[in-house]
């Protein structure tokens, strides 16, 4: 609790995005919406609160990832709720609960919004962060795996991030994975004592996660581990071959990464991550995604295939900023109305007229004319409309062009024409 004699600051791990920063965020969000639309995806919004159970279902035995990070709470009605850590679970719920399973499939959907994870906050990792989430639900076609990869890449290209590395793997499905996990366990068992405590536990609860462990002492054992790509069932093999063929046909470069996995049972087949090309090992991805054909069922709906990705807007905007992506910060207002003394109603009326064609702010502060001009200049105003008592009577303003310094008298009614 904040001490009562101190001003109240923001909650740990969250941050404000200020107007100057919002300009770059808007570029990233608008590009996301534009690219999604270009690929035939429609916008959906789901609540940021969901039943804790919806998020925790399908987590499997290894509650590692999902549970520890879940921002959960009990509401006043004693309901166990969670702030969504990602959008997919909620979108799949909405797909069934709100009838999107009807009509032509797949449903192509996107969402831009806040996600919450109760992680230890650090640079680039926040407890509230934002994602551009894209989902194609209701089709098992591997062409859609490639489509969502293309949506992610196109988006990143459009915000000026063209040096990318796409990492790709498959993790099989409910048919071939169990036998593979058996092999993986059998391979790792003799080394159990040499693994770090987390991996010793994973060996029993979630052996796939052994492959993406980053702890140095576990690394030497990876290279000899059996690979899932050598252990796929016919269906997964065919899907994998088609994904690779379609990526080649689209001239999309990728790196196969046999250690790229997902810890949750409902993920199937394709998994991918997109990094800045210059990124080394530990750096976080800009976007990551894959197929989740088991998710709907784990939520209690009918089995429904789906594939998608989530891109991190915090990370993407940070990179856009550090790469010098130019965003011309828009002026707060194009026109500032500056009136003498108590001409408040008149100033407001001038603003109302000008606002039909332009963005207009009124300076209501009790300060000198010189200071008001200075403030208008700092706001980036292109025009200042000056209003004195005598001018108000004649319903005119002195309109000053801030760039050239030129000024002249304009009647209120002609303002829209002059400013347009
Ligand atoms: P994930 O849902 O974990 O696959 O993450 C998808 C993307 O969201 C990542 O590639 C990151 O860019 C971003 N992201 C995930 N967690 C955080 C976080 N705590 N803070 C900021 N960005 C995040």
Atom of ligand 1 nearest to the CA of 313: 12
User: Which residue's alpha carbon is nearest to atom 3 within ligand 1?
Assistant: 288
- What is the CB-side half-sphere exposure of residue 102 using CA atoms within 13 A? 3
User: Which residue's alpha carbon is nearest to atom 12 within ligand 1?
Assistant: 312
Element (H, E) at 129: strand 128-137
Give me the phi and psi of 132, to 5 degrees please: -100, 115
Neighbours of 26 (CB within 10 A): 13
- 62 SS3 class: coil
Q: Count of H helices and E strands in the chain? A: 14, 16
Residue 111's Cα: distance from chain center in Å? Answer: 8
Q: Ligand 1: which residues within 6 Å by Cβ?
A: 86, 117, 119, 125-126, 129, 131, 284-288, 310, 312, 314-315
More confident: 162 or 150? 150
Pairwise CA distance, residues 232 & 223, whole Å? 19
What is the predicted pLDDT for the residue at 398? 97
Specify whether the CB–CB gap between 373 and 384 falls below 8 A: yes
Helices (H), 40-141: 52-56, 64-69, 88-97
User: Which residue's alpha carbon is nearest to atom 21 within ligand 1?
Assistant: 125
The bridge status of strand 306-312 relative to strand 287-291 is: antiparallel
User: Which residue's alpha carbon is nearest to atom 13 within ligand 1?
Assistant: 312
Distance 173 CA to ligand 1 centre (A): 24
* Residue 238 pLDDT grade (very low, low, confident, very high; cuts 50, 70, 90): very high
Q: Which residue out of 116, 310, 313, 317 has the highest number of ligand 1 atoms within 8 Å of its CB and is therefore the one to mutate? A: 310
pLDDT, average across residues 60-88: 83
Distance 312 CA to ligand 1 centre (A): 5
pLDDT tens-place string over residues 291-314: 999 999 999 999 999 999 999 999
Pairwise CA distance, residues 88 & 75, whole Å? 23
Atom of ligand 1 nearest to the CA of 310: 6
CA angle 154–158–163, rounded 5-degree value: 75
Atom of ligand 1 nearest to the CA of 289: 4
User: Which residue's alpha carbon is nearest to atom 16 within ligand 1?
Assistant: 125
Q: Which residue has the tokens 């009647």?
A: 411
Helix/strand/coil percent split, the chain, to 5: 40, 20, 40
Specify whether the CB–CB gap between 30 and 43 falls below 8 A: no
Residue 164's Cα: distance from chain center in Å? Answer: 17
Q: Of 326, 331, 325, whose CA–CA distance to 276 is shortest?
A: 325
Structure-block tokens of residue 192: 């159990």
What is the predicted pLDDT for the residue at 252? 97
User: Which residue's alpha carbon is nearest to atom 14 within ligand 1?
Assistant: 312
What is the predicted pLDDT for the residue at 59? 55
Q: Of 27, 16, 17, 18, whose CA–CA distance to 328 is shortest?
A: 27
Structure-block tokens of residue 200: 């010793």
Pairwise CA distance, residues 182 & 172, whole Å? 14
Structure-block tokens of residue 398: 């002195």
Which stretches of 147-216 are assigned E, i.e. beta strand?
164-170
**Cα separations (Å) of 266 from 89, 203, 292, 356?**
11, 19, 5, 53
User: Which residue's alpha carbon is nearest to atom 4 within ligand 1?
Assistant: 288
pLDDT tens-place string over residues 375-396: 999 999 999 999 999 999 999 9
pTM of the model: 0.92
Structure-block tokens of residue 90: 């909620």
Q: Which residue out of 315, 318, 320 has the highest number of ligand 1 atoms within 8 Å of its CB and is therefore the one to mutate? A: 315
What is the predicted pLDDT for the residue at 61? 47
pLDDT, average across residues 219-247: 96
* Residue 233 pLDDT grade (very low, low, confident, very high; cuts 50, 70, 90): very high
Residue 64 pLDDT exceeds 70: no
pLDDT, average across residues 326-353: 89
What is the predicted pLDDT for the residue at 262? 86
């Amino acid at each position: 609790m904040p001490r009562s004699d101190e001003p109240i600051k923001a909650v740990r791990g969250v941050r404000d995005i200020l107007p100057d920063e919002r300009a770059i965020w808007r570029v990233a969000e608008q590009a996301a919406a534009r690219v999604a639309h270009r690929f035939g995806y429609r916008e959906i919004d789901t609540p940021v609160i969901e039943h804790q159970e919806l998020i925790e279902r399908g987590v499997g035995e290894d509650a590692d990832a999902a549970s520890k990070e879940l921002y959960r709470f009990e509401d006043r009605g004693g309901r166990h709720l969670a702030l969504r850590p990602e959008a997919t679970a909620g979108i799949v719920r909405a797909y069934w609960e709100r009838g999107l399973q009807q009509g032509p499939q797949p449903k192509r959907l996107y969402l831009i919004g806040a996600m919450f994870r109760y992680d230890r906050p650090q640079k680039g990792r926040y407890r509230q962060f934002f994602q551009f989430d894209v989902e194609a639900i209701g089709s098992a076609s591997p062409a859609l795996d490639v489509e969502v990869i293309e949506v992610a890449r196109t988006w990143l290209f459009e915000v000026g991030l063209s040096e990318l590395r796409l990492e790709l793997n498959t993790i099989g499905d409910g048919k071939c994975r169990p036998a593979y996990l058996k092999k993986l366990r059998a391979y790792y068992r003799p080394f159990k004592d040499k693994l770090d405590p987390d991996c010793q536990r994973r060996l029993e609860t979630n052996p796939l996660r052994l492959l993406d462990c980053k702890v140095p002492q576990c690394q030497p054992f990876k290279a000899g581990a059996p690979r899932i790509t050598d252990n796929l069932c016919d269906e997964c093999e065919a899907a994998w071959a088609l994904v690779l063929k379609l990526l080649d046909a689209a001239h999309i470069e990728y790196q196969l990464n046999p250690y790229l996995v997902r810890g949750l049972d409902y993920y199937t087949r394709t998994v991918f991550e997109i990094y800045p090309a210059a990124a080394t090992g530990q750096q976080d991805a800009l976007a990551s995604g894959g197929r989740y054909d088991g998710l709907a069922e784990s939520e209690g709906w009918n089995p429904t295939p789906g594939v998608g990705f989530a891109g991190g807007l915090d990370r993407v905007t940070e990179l856009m900023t550090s790469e010098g992506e130019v965003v011309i910060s828009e002026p707060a207002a194009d026109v500032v109305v500056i009136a003498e003394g108590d001409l408040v109603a008149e100033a407001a009326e001038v603003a109302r007229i000008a606002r039909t064609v332009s963005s207009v702010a009124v300076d209501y502060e009790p300060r000198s004319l010189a200071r008001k001009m200075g403030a208008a200049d700092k706001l980036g105003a292109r025009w200042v409309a000056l209003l004195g008592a005598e001018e108000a009577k004649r319903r005119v303003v002195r309109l000053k062009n801030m760039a050239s310094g030129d000024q002249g008298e304009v009647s209120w009614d002609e303002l829209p024409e002059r400013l347009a």
